[in-house]
Chain A
Amino acid sequence: DVKVTQSSRYLVKRTGEKVFLECVQDMDHENMFWYRQDPGLGLRLIYFSYDVKMKEKGDIPEGYSVSREKKERFSLILESASTNQTSMYLCASSGLEGYQETQYFGPGTRLLVL
Chain B
Amino acid sequence: GQNIDQPTEMTATEGAIVQINCTYQTSGFNGLFWYQQHAGEAPTFLSYNVLDGLEEKGRFSSFLSRSKGYSYLLLKELQMKDSASYLCAVSSEGNFNKFYFGSGTKLNVKP
Contact = CB atoms under 8 A, between A and B. Distances in A.
B104 A42 contact: yes
A45 B43 CA distance: 14
Contacts of A100: 31, 48, 50, 91
Interface in B4-51: 4, 8, 30-31, 33, 35, 40-45, 48, 50
A11 B83 CA distance: 27
Nearest to B49: A100
B103 A42 contact: yes
Contacts of B91: 100-101
A40 B103 CA distance: 6
Contacts of B104: 42
Contacts, number: 60
A38 to B, nearest CB: 9
B97 A94 contact: yes
Contacts of B72: none
A50 B21 CA distance: 31
A102 B4 CA distance: 18
Contact of A104 (B40, B45, B97, B102): B45
B96 A41 contact: no
A90 interface: yes
Contacts of A31: 96-97
Nearest to A38: B103
Contacts of A27: none
B101 interface: yes
Given A97-B45, A101-B97, A103-B97, 15 more contacts: A31-B96, A42-B101, A42-B103, A45-B98, A48-B98, A58-B98, A100-B48, A100-B91, A102-B45, A102-B48, A103-B33, A103-B45, A104-B45, A106-B42, A108-B42
Interface of B: 4, 8, 30-31, 33, 35, 40-45, 48, 50, 87, 89, 91, 95-99, 101-104
20 contacts: A33-B99, A35-B101, A40-B8, A40-B103, A42-B101, A42-B102, A42-B104, A43-B43, A43-B87, A43-B99, A50-B95, A101-B30, A101-B31, A101-B91, A102-B33, A105-B42, A105-B43, A106-B42, A107-B42, A108-B41
